[in-house]
Amino acid sequence: MSSTLNLKIPKTLTEIKAISKSKKIKVTNGATTLVVCKHSKLSALKKDLKEHLQTFQLKRITDEAPFSYQFETTKGILALVVLPEENIELLDHEGLLDPSGYGLARDFVGEKIIQLEAFNLPKLNLHGYHLEYDELLGSLLGIELARYDYKKSTSKIEFTCSYDGDLPTDALKEILSNALAIGNGINLARFLVDVPPNEKRPETYAAGIKALFEKSKSMQVTIWDDKRLKKEGMGLMLGVGGGSVELPRLVHLKYRPAKARETAPVAFVGKGITFDTGGLNLKPGNSMRLMKKDMGGSACLVGLASWLEASRSDIPCDIYLALAENSVDAHSFRPSDVLTAKNGMTVEIDNTDAEGRLVMGDALCVASSAKGADKPQFLIDVATLTGAIKVGLGSDIGGLFSNSDDLAFILQSCSQIAGDPLWRMPLMKSQREKLKSDVADIANSCSGFGGAIRAAMFLQEFTGDIPWAHLDIYAWNEGTNSFYRNSGGSGQGVQCLAQFISQL
């Protein structure tokens, strides 16, 4: 087993050196041209396509669905994606779950890219026809996300990008840079989830993260081993990870850019259970099958860290990753054990399969106790914490819990813009009451409905007086999203949090 996880992910968009301005749609031999157009510009586009398409082909392009077309021309394939217009009159849930222009472009283009790859053509030109900034950015992201394949079996394609519209050259440069930064961050998070668990045990995973940023001048990586965890009194992490051949690690990524804004940092905490057997409360086989993804919260934050550095964000951030393997041996923690957290709180173990909130509790203690200039203005945790949230919201919408209405609103608004949806759930004191213990300050779980709320109430005990939000995510694409090549890590949370940092 390697002592370091290789986190070098291919960056597809680096092949696009610049986005050229061009009013002419070019179709060349041996290449595919993909034109992306807003529905409101469709009539004008059809006039510009007359030199490439026959009359019968142009008649196929209508104002109704489908919004994706593909034509054989005398020179090559010409494909078209038409982005539907937002209908304000049909907005529901105050628009917070409606697709954004960015999200629509990303998903439609990603789906089309996968369809076009069946032709095995070596060249592709993306032509943005009078697109807005976010729509062109989303189109490029569609390429980047669709081209990702963990097995790296996709054929190499030469990309170019042209644009006809009002965006200035500086904006086009920025779009390309942003697309590469966020695309690489998302695919890095996907890759980490996809890596098999025998290759990403806590020590290996931590070492891989450190190696990823070893040449960085803005990101400092510190790893606490089991001896340091014991010294710091982090009994919850040690208890969960005690049954594994590799003991737990806490990874701290401290982002302090050279031109940091004079503001308090944002602190993030990620769940990094590299594999979850359920412990002595062993999961059934079907439930254990995908538990390599139980570190999806930490993967999201490693992807975010990559974006922070690549985008040169001026917001200082601290990222804490609680890495452990919930395994089974003679040293595994037991139901009815009492563990002591870093903040001194005692926790009775009701169920060893409620382990994520335990490691998160200790890491939240570290993040919330930072002093002076390092005291965070916000504390946000990301975790594949409960199956209950998926029952309520499905696999594509993350559950959002927060003790701050302002923070919750900002995060939910950012999630809509980024096409990475969250939905706010309640924090109910009545559910906290159900976690009472006769022998400790709190129990880690109990039976009955409301499991996602109880998990959030447990985490809140370790957040101090800082505005806090908890993102309960799934981190996995089940193969139902047509803009992803296959099932695997989804990168959930990266786009939302990048949007959040961008608007601070």
Six-digit token string for 503: 């608007």
Cα(9)–Cα(12) distance, integer angstroms: 9
Sequence-separated (6 or more) residues with CB below 8 Å from residue 301: 253, 268, 270, 319, 321, 382, 497
Q: Position 197: which residue type?
A: P
* Residue-by-residue DSSP string for 252-267: EEEE--TT--SSPPEE
Q: How far is CA 482 from CA 13, 91, 108, 189, in A?
A: 20, 24, 9, 19
The CA distance from 141 to 503, in Å, is 20
- 16 SS3 class: coil
293 three-state secondary structure: helix
DSSP class of residue 91 equals -
Catalytic residue of the set 230, 283, 424, 434 = 283
Q: Are 79 and 114 a contacting pair, CB within 8 Å?
A: no
Please check whether residue 49 is in contact with residue 69, taking contact to mean a CB–CB distance below 8 angstroms.
no
Torsion of CA 263, 265, 266, 272, to 10 degrees: 170
Neighbour count for residue 219 (Cβ, 10 Å)? 21
Residue in 38, 112, 292, 357 annotated catalytic: 357
Q: Tell me how crowded residue 20 is: count the other CB atoms within 10 A of its CB.
A: 15
The H-or-E segment that residue 13 falls in is none
Closest to 139 measured CA to CA, from 16, 20, 34:
34
Cβ neighbours of residue 113 closer than 8 Å, sequence gap 6 or more: 34, 124, 142, 143, 146, 147
Strand ranges of the sheet holding 378-383, from the earlier edge strand across to the other edge:
219-224, 249-255, 317-326, 266-276, 378-383, 468-472, 398-402, 422-424
363 and 273 in contact (C-beta within 8 Å)?
no
Burial of 59 from C-beta contacts in 10 A (0-12 / 13-18 / 19+): exposed
- With vertex at residue 332, the alpha carbon angle to CA 329 and CA 335, rounded to the nearest 5 degrees, is 130
Is 26 one of the catalytic residues?
Answer: no
| Catalytic-residue membership of 357 | yes
Contact 336, 420 (CB under 8 A): no
> Among all residues, which ones are annotated catalytic?
283, 357
